Amino acid sequence: MKRFGKFISQNPLIFLLLAIPLTLAAQVLHWSSIAVFILAAIGIIPLASYIGEATEDLASYTDPRLGALLNATLGNAAELIITVTAVQAGLLELVKASITGSIIGNLLLVLGFAFVVGGVKHGTQTFNKVNAGRNAILLVLAVVTLIIPSVFSQSIVGAAADSKVEALSIGVAIIMIALYGLGLFDASRSKESVLSHTVPKDELPDWTLAQAIIVLALATIGVVYMSESLVRVAEDVITGLGISEFFLGIILVPIIGNVAEHLVAVQMALKNKMDLSVEIAVSSSLQIALFVAPLLVFISLMLGHPMQLIFNKFELLALLAAVVISALVSSDGESTWLEGAGLLAIYLILGLAFFLLP
């Protein structure tokens, strides 16, 4: 009984797996769309967490170069699956909003929570200033690559405008993927790179290689199924709750896909391991901006719903605000609960504004 209690306290998300059979039941028994949506969303949380853990176990068994690549590409698998499913359903606004939402969620919500929770327990916390500076540079680079085509696209008008915006979007996606590839190449040679962050050994579950592969496969299938359930009822939920596709994409989807990772970042802050906490939030943002976003451009093209890397004014403002503030806050290698409260305040204000948008 005591062992069972310990198991539960180490795996608090396991209960959420119950949402998977409940989602099945909800669909079979024709429960309301909102019920299906909430259950599917809850069910994705532990599955996304298992994908992450299995990936990191797998990476630890392989050559470091392959490991870095695995971590980088599968690290946001859940998010990628949800967004690809949404692209298939033609919900392009939701997909773009969820890219923005993932980045600002990581940089404001997760980092803010980590700073507050860690700061209340440990006072002013410190982390490696040099690494934080390097990551901030990559982050600003990544966001500027997202901003440039958006601003330019607003002024490309006339007959050939659509094809020009598409050309620009694909060109930017190729340059970003190339830059990300160079980053991975660099990461495979140095252990410290933000693009190949690894959870320290003692945090890893004791899965064998075979177990890791099986968990990865099962969890991935689970996320695919749950994402389809989620996206199928998304439009009903938007109509039912009176919220916008944009709000669903920017606030809700990123939270669902990243809850597990967010928890780890906050736990690390509680253990006063701020380097890891900051790295998780920043590297996740970088992967979204430099890998997931351009990848979705290509995937959407193949799926016949071409999505362009063109964000609206609010998304750009939110991205810029989040990146500048988190870069600034982390540039001194120090965090306090007051800085965390400031990050959360910006997230709240952005959330309120997004909610009020028509």
- Per CB under 8 A, residues contacting a copy of itself are 130, 133-134, 136-138, 140-141, 144-145, 147-149, 151-152, 155-158, 164, 167-168, 171-172, 175-176, 178-179, 182-183, 186, 313-314, 317, 321, 324-325, 327-329, 331-332, 334, 336-339, 341-342, 345-346, 348-350, 352-353, 356-358
Rounded to a whole number of angstroms, the minimum distance from the CB of residue 194 to a copy of itself is 11
Give the nearer residue to a copy of itself in terms of CB position, either 31 or 152: 152
Q: Which two tokens stand for residue 14?
A: 């396991």
Give the nearer residue to a copy of itself in terms of CB position, either 5 or 358: 358
Rounded to a whole number of angstroms, the minimum distance from the CB of residue 171 to a copy of itself is 5
Give the nearer residue to a copy of itself in terms of CB position, either 126 or 208: 126
Give the nearer residue to a copy of itself in terms of CB position, either 55 or 193: 193
Give the nearer residue to a copy of itself in terms of CB position, either 39 or 116: 116
DSSP states along 165-222: HHHHHHHHHHHHHHHHHHHHHHHHH-TT-GGG----GGGS----HHHHHHHHHHHHHH
> Are residues 278 and 125 in contact, defined by beta-carbon separation less than 8 angstroms?
no
Rounded to a whole number of angstroms, the minimum distance from the CB of residue 168 to a copy of itself is 5
Q: How far apart are CA 76 and CA 114, in angstroms?
A: 20
Instruction: List CB contacts of 259: < 8 A, sequence separation 6 or more.
Output: 45, 48, 49
Rounded to a whole number of angstroms, the minimum distance from the CB of residue 323 to a copy of itself is 10
Torsion of the alpha carbons at 215, 113, 133 and 184, rounded to the nearest 10: 10
32 phi and psi, to 5 degrees?
-65, 155
User: SS3 for 334?
Assistant: strand
Rounded to a whole number of angstroms, the minimum distance from the CB of residue 344 to a copy of itself is 9
Give the nearer residue to a copy of itself in terms of CB position, either 29 or 356: 356
Give the nearer residue to a copy of itself in terms of CB position, either 76 or 135: 135
User: SS3 for 125?
Assistant: strand
Rounded to a whole number of angstroms, the minimum distance from the CB of residue 93 to a copy of itself is 15
Residue 52 CA to its chain's centroid (Å): 12
Q: Which two tokens stand for residue 106?
A: 């990581």
Rounded to a whole number of angstroms, the minimum distance from the CB of residue 310 to a copy of itself is 12
Q: At what angle do helices 337-356 and 111-122 cross, to 10 degrees?
A: 150
Rounded to a whole number of angstroms, the minimum distance from the CB of residue 264 to a copy of itself is 25
Rounded to a whole number of angstroms, the minimum distance from the CB of residue 47 to a copy of itself is 33
Q: Which two tokens stand for residue 228?
A: 């389809």
Residue among 159, 175, 180, 164 nearest 308 (CA): 164
Rounded to a whole number of angstroms, the minimum distance from the CB of residue 133 to a copy of itself is 5
Give the nearer residue to a copy of itself in terms of CB position, either 51 or 325: 325
Q: Where are the alpha helices (DSSP H) in 128-160?
A: 129-153
Give the nearer residue to a copy of itself in terms of CB position, either 90 or 133: 133
Give the nearer residue to a copy of itself in terms of CB position, either 39 or 250: 250
Instruction: List CB contacts of 190: < 8 A, sequence separation 6 or more.
Output: none
* Angle CA 50–55–57, to nearest 5: 95
The rounded radius of gyration (Å) of the Cα atoms in the chain is 20
